[in-house]
Structure 1
Amino acid sequence: MAHPTRLLCIGHRGARGHAPENTLLSIETGIRLGADMIEFDVQLCQEELVVIHDPRLERTTNGVGRVEHVRFDYLRGLDAGKGQQIPTLHEVLRLVEGRIPLNVEIKSAGGTGARIAAALRDAMHEGWSADQFLVSSFHLPELYEFKQAAPEIPIAALVCGVPLDWAACATELGAQALNVSEEFVDSRLIEDAHSRGLKIYAYTVNHPDDMSLLRDAGIDGVFSDYPDRVLALRQ
């Protein structure tokens, strides 16, 4: 299969290989390195939409406990690396100011998708456009709820294996893309996604050899902790 002329470069959790993940510093670093899109994770903490990947705080901060169980003021007092706070979704939107498209991953359930939909719609009233967002999740029912609340904003189904029905789950959701773990990229899955008019992106790809293999297999883009490596390959 002929590979695309341009492999979309998606900065994973900002530019996780260069700065503490999911922080404003990491997101700004990804932008400065030249990524085409920045991905980050959003959860609920006391009704606030916060940008953090794990359900627990220990790996990425100096705090303890589950994000959903701690107080927001406690979470905001933590060090997420290099003196960075855990940001809110609003702060990320304010930092980026439409300079680059964003892949917002819904990490928690319980209405997170609907709240993100409301926040992104507010951003659109302030100048963002719907096509500057791509909202994704492994929690497909939560992603469906997001789509019901904001049908104009593109979504991507996240999978970590090869579904029995190939890319059909993305089609059923009305998604524009399928995001799949690099270890499960399958030529038939790529072909099926493209036959349905879907883009297919692989995560998390950090080795240039793997980027080349995926590009040659027909993948449309990759999530990487090192956006600069993707861009070097493109050149």
Structure 2
Amino acid sequence: MATVIAHRGYAGVAPENTVGAAVRAAAADGTTMIEIDVQPAACGTPVVIHDERLEEPRDGRPLTDASGFVWETDLETLQSARVLGTDETVPTLTEFLEAIPESVGVNVELKTPGTTTLDLRIGESLPEADRDDRREAWTPFVERVVDACGAFDGELLFSSFCEGALAAVREIDPAYAAAPLVFDDLEAGLEIARRYDCEAIHPPRNAIAGTELAETSYVGFPGGKPEIDVLEVAHDEGRTVNVWTVANWHQYDQLAAAGVDGIIADYPRLGVPSSGR
């Protein structure tokens, strides 16, 4: 049975990336790990939030009642910004980790070091000439993230769509587990995993060969038989495969039957036997 990783603290049932969501997710049956997104406030403090702008829409409502780029916003404003119309606010990474038991792991996704998506080289396997530059761009923020994680004794896994972020993690503290997030290029993801000897790889849910999901398009990754059996290749190389993002039990069951190791899910209890869901 595949382990369940709570996507943003089970964003389908709670205000995403908040302390309240984390506490609820940690208490849910079957939760092995909580996946969160981090980026810097204007002062450089790591905060837990997904989108680069505070007012990005979620099903017709803004993510928070504040506006502007996260990394241009002062920490006090972020910590008082209400998430999705609730009383939950944007937490610092330290506050988030302090609120959950160390029996539940945390997958820290490094979203941005404080720059727009145009500069991040998302999903790319970088040519050698660009790697040092991208690592150096991420290093100051990743140092702050690693420092904030230092007091947490539970399992930690760092992931990112950006090679520069993973390169910075490996340089700062190679003892932490790392995983490239795959966007639309499976070979690039595998190359990055090999380059930094990553413990895991995180492909999208329709990239797993032999499933019905592989016939459907998802977030830019086209449907049809995948050109690479990423599950087979990653397992042959000794890497864990955690798939994102699952929305229902039917999708969970397909991927678990295919043999993936972990499933990043929006809803709790998907890994609980069907009689107990």
**Structure 2-normalised TM-score?**
0.76
Q: Output the aligned Cα RMSD.
A: 1.8
- Match of 1:52? 49
Cα deviation, residue 49, structure 1: 0.7
- Match of 2:106? 102
Match for residue 43 of structure 1 among 3, 27, 39? 39
Alignment of 1:1-235 (within 5 A): 6-34=1-29, 35-45=31-41, 46-59=43-56, 60-81=63-84, 82-109=86-113, 110=138, 111-120=140-149, 122-123=150-151, 128=153, 132-164=155-187, 167-186=190-209, 188-233=229-274
Provide closer, same or farther for how the CA distance between residues 171 and 234 of structure 1 changes in structure 2, counting only shifts above 3 A: farther
Which has the higher Rg, Structure 1 or Structure 2?
2
Structure scoring higher RCO (CA < 8 A, sep ≥ 6) equals 1
Quick one: distance in 2 between partners of 1:28 and 1:88? 15
Q: Deviations over 1:166-220 (max 9, x none)?
A: 6232121121000111122336110000010000011110122211211122211
What residue ranges of structure 2 are gaps of 5+ in the alignment?
Answer: 57-62, 114-137, 211-228
8 Å CA contact 1:18–1:29 kept in 2: the answer is no
Provide closer, same or farther for how the CA distance between residues 117 and 55 of structure 1 changes in structure 2, counting only shifts above 3 A: same
What residue ranges of structure 1 are gaps of 5+ in the alignment?
Answer: 1-5
Quick one: distance in 1 between partners of 2:274 and 2:69? 39
What secondary structure is seen at the aligned counterpart in 1 of 2:53?
coil
8 Å CA contact 1:200–1:219 kept in 2: the answer is yes
- The count of residues paired between Structure 1 and Structure 2 equals 224
8 Å CA contact 2:37–2:110 kept in 1: the answer is yes
Provide closer, same or farther for how the CA distance between residues 234 and 140 of structure 1 changes in structure 2, counting only shifts above 3 A: farther
8 Å CA contact 1:116–1:146 kept in 2: the answer is no
Q: Deviations over 1:121-157 (max 9, x none)?
A: x315xxx15xx10111111111110121111111111
Provide closer, same or farther for how the CA distance between residues 106 and 9 of structure 1 changes in structure 2, counting only shifts above 3 A: same
8 Å CA contact 1:137–1:143 kept in 2: the answer is yes
- Match of 1:3? none
What secondary structure is seen at the aligned counterpart in 1 of 2:272?
helix
**Structure 1-normalised TM-score?**
0.89
Cα deviation, residue 224, structure 1: 0.4
